[in-house]
Structure 1
Amino acid sequence: MSFNTSKSTYQIILAATIPIFNPNYMPVEVSGSLVVSFYDQQAGITGLDPVSIPARAFPKIITVDMDASSVPQEYLFTIYTQCFTFPERIIFFLTGKLRSKYLGWVLPIPDIDNYFIISCTNAPDRRPDPPHLPGRPAKPPRPPNSPPRPWKVGKRDTAAAVGVAGQMEGDTKEQITEVEVEEEVEEGVEA
């Protein structure tokens, strides 16, 4: 998009990409016209020269450059206002009628009815992605070891399982022995 403030004109060249699917086993030829509108006013019209679409194309992309600078003088103030105030974007509508020629038959393609949201500045709409450094993927976290279940351990492992359970509650072997010794001493003093 470019503005000429001395002449109060602007120029907008829009690039439309149109995907065309051809499920046939023979190539087709697509042609038609595209109309760009600013709200209800026609801003430009572009004819699409016949383009050959190869057989079994899923899809073939057609790129068309369109001039959207033919808005009436009354609408220029609206374009300037929308471009120089927040959000600094304008919207154009795209309509089109295309037809395909296949084995001598001319068949209509469903109408195009879409829109463009254009940033009035030349800056991109979003920040570019940070560069991705190749490397090893991170290892997945390991699940924590669960305590053994009493019904799955043998007699030999039962004491170990009880010891693990005691340690999980915060009791250690020394703490348990100290408590037993203190109880014996207290009983001896009273007697």
Structure 2
Amino acid sequence: MMRRFAETSLVVATHNTGKLDEFRALLSPYGVTVTGNADHGLPEPEETEQSFVGNARIKARAAVAATGLPALADDSGLEVFDLDGQPGVYTADWAETGEGRDFDIAMERVHRELEASGRPAPHRARFCCTLVLAWPDGHEEVFEGHAAGTVTWPMRGARGHGYDPIFVPEGHEITFAEMDTDTKNAMSHRARAVEKLRACLG
């Protein structure tokens, strides 16, 4: 049975201010005070697992151990089925340049590797998001969300972030990067994972 989150403070284990604001807005109706890694001087732990849930657990457990507070962490990425699930947990790594992340380079790599695979379009893919909510007593709840679709080329749209310009969600003809924010957020992988989290909060 799912444990209800009844605490008043939560660490969201991220340095991403946009993500932090998103969770603050989500949790504000429940009277939860949200802080992030930077508020506690926490470094980003090394993500050494081969799964989204494994890496989310690393981040959540590190924040709990350092603060003694319950913590929420997420790990997310893009799985392209014609690339055997890549980039998957390495979604952000594909964008690393040594001078920060460049997702244009990452998207070009997806296209290049699909071309090299010789597999015909449509190239099915999905965005994945895994949330891990961890308590100081060791209890954890896991919430997963997916957004199915296809990879397209060339890139289209200037909204969104990451791989959004090459991802067309199922049932649509435009990419995430061509959609307005509200439309995208209503169907995104994170929205679906957060919807499951809400059941733990209510």
Whose helix proportion is higher, 1 or 2? Answer: 2
Normalising by structure 1, report the TM-score: 0.30
Whose strand proportion is higher, 1 or 2? Answer: 1
